[in-house]
Amino acid sequence: MPARYFIGAVLLLIAAPVVVHPQAPGAPQSSSRTSRGYTVFLAGAVVGREDVTVESTAEGFIISGQGRLSGSQDVVIRRVEVRYSRDWTPSAYELEATVNGGDTGIFTTFSNGAAVTKGVDGGQPVDQTDKVAPRVVVLPNVFFGSYEALTRRLVATQTEKEFPTFVGPAAQGLLRLTNASVEQMQIGTATFNIRRYEFLYAGPRGMAVVNVYTDDTGSLLRVNIPAQRVDVMRDDLASATSRTILYSNASDEAVTIPATGFNLGATLTWPRGMKSADGPATTRAPAVVLLAGAASNERDGVVGGVPVLGQLAGALADAGFVAVRYDKRGHGQSGGRAESATLGDQAEDALAVVRWLANRRDIDRDRIAVVGHNEGAWAALLAASRERRIAALVTIAAPSIAGSERVLEQQRHVLERMDIPPAERVAKIELQSRINAAVMSGRGWEALPPEVRKQADTPWFQSFLMFDPARVIRDVRQPVLFIHGELDAEVPVSHLDRLGELAQKEGRSRSVAVVAVRGVNHLLTPAVTGDVAEYASLPNRNVSSDVTKAITEWLTKAFQSAR
């Protein structure tokens, strides 16, 4: 297969590069040379790597490299080089590679609106002349470092919206800029601004959205193609120490919290005027640990596009609490193994955060609460039942029935919205019941499709199915607040009433509060119907102040009683 097309079997079109700040035309011409490594991911698995070098000289720029890609095609790049003048007009492109054991060697020169290519591509001789735009961006599919030419132009210009691309002989495309925004990236505990450019790419293999990330100087950080599940990331960003910040509060502080055998990447949100442990503590503040549900693994708790935990943290800090949110184990900046984590493990991680807070000089160890959203509330219940030093517990939108029943309830809700015969609905419910039984007992898999077991037979799903909040509530002694949106269509508000009854009749807590918030959905935002279909069109995507006020006022009273 020709090198200019092979990548279609592995990915649609990408390229990723290096870091060196180009000089604008007319600026003093100095030389520099920078080398970087990049990792290529396909569906989360590593499929390649590239070492890329960028040289800036008085004459122009040279982007070169070597690397390897695997997958449906095995590509070894022995040498590749793209040359540009100072205004990013291409002059030459050269590739020496092996594709599935066959040699490829092509050389392209650019002059007077023409690209002349000669050599051998995939074992076939090439002698091709193509008309190209004067400042075409050379983006060969086999060389990800070539995106460096595009990123530097993006930072240098505010007017260019369309970028013609040269993929290879007889293969051209067009990148159309559709959106540009500024986000934040975190490496370790340090943060810096990044720029995200969203393109619509039209090329030889079709159309796709391409996201390109750069730093403020134009150095490329990442290329992402969502539809192809492709990510190309600079090596330091591909590690577990980095993350893109989805939401931030003005008083956020990135921290690392030790757990059992690994660290949790976390964010502290401080009340205004209070200093962190890096400076002298003026007072011991109450603290709240936030736990996300199953729909979100990162610390901001983004569900339906709403950063539920990130916004809750800001509201808690405004009310005088130190809020802590963290990436679940095996996700984001947190270590550990995600595939083996259970609800009990998630509770233990929450307890690790509680103990870490209790040992700080600026935290009041007698006023630490845990707050969980949806399934995160179950982990919070478990944590509170195991640790007396937790002074208060808040569950938000928590299910009140056992996990095995909850899965069937969710399925019935989905099936009711589908236009299918009643018999088919019954069959699907029966199938799910058999799956639940197999997961919990370990027996009966032979009667189920193998792919079902691969998806369902996991430690987390087993712990979820076997969890019963009624049993755990019996061991919760702390003051507890159950809060729910009246319009919650994912976990109906009827669960709120049952939780309250369980705690009051069977629990050991002497202080149980139940609050239903009007006009609020599962995301804790104002809504009209509360239905999931309404999420995308919500005019207000902020956690309701009625929710945050109810939580902060209740916590204040609960902590006063605990002192």
CA 504 to chain centre: 39
- Is the pTM value of this prediction over 0.85? no
For residue 188, what pLDDT band results from cuts at 50, 70 and 90? low
Asked if 56 and 102 touch (Cβ cutoff 8 Å), the reply is: no
65 falls in which pLDDT band (50, 70, 90)? Answer: very high
Class of residue 21 by CB neighbours under 10 A (exposed 0-12, middle 13-18, buried 19+): middle
pLDDT computed for residue 488 by the predictor: 96
Measure the CA–CA gap between 182 and 214, rounded to whole angstroms: 10
Beta strands 322-326 and 392-396 are unpaired
- Alpha carbons 203 and 201: distance in angstroms, whole number: 6
Residue 406 and residue 375: Cα distance in Å, rounded?
11
Length of the chain: 563
Instruction: Quickly state the pLDDT bin for 286 (edges 50, 70, 90).
Output: very high
* CA distances, 394 to each of 82, 179, 381, 439 (Å): 58, 39, 9, 30
The pair of three-digit structure tokens given for residue 301, joined into one six-digit string = 């708790």
Round the average pLDDT of the chain to a whole number and report it: 86
152 has pLDDT over 90: no
The owner of tokens 């009990």 is 344
- Residue 231's Cβ-side half-sphere holds a number of Cα atoms within 13 Å equal to 15
* SS3 (DSSP) at 201: strand
Residues 398-431, buried b or exposed e (16+ Cβ, 10 A)? bbbbbbbebbeeebeeebeeeeeeeeebeebeee
| Segment 133-161 mean pLDDT | 87
Instruction: Answer with the residue of higher pLDDT: 123 or 249.
Output: 249
What are the tokens at 485? 């949106």
Lookup result for tokens 């690209």: 115
246-402+467-562 under CATH 3.40.50.1820, yes or no? yes
Give the 3-state secondary structure of residue 460: helix
Identify the residue with better confidence: 542 or 454. Answer: 542
pLDDT at 327: 92
Domain boundary assignment for the chain: 3-173, 246-402+467-562, 404-462
Which amino acid, 94?
A: E
Sequence-separated contacts (24+) of 35-38 with Cβ below 8 Å = 36/234, 36/235, 37/234, 37/235, 38/67, 38/144, 38/145, 38/232, 38/233, 38/234, 38/235
For the stretch 103-107, contacts whose Cβ atoms lie closer than 8 Å and that sit 24 or more positions apart, written own/partner, are 104/2, 104/3, 106/3, 106/168, 106/169
What's residue 323's pLDDT? 97
pLDDT at 15 over 60: no
Q: Which helix (H) or strand (E) holds 208?
A: strand 206-214
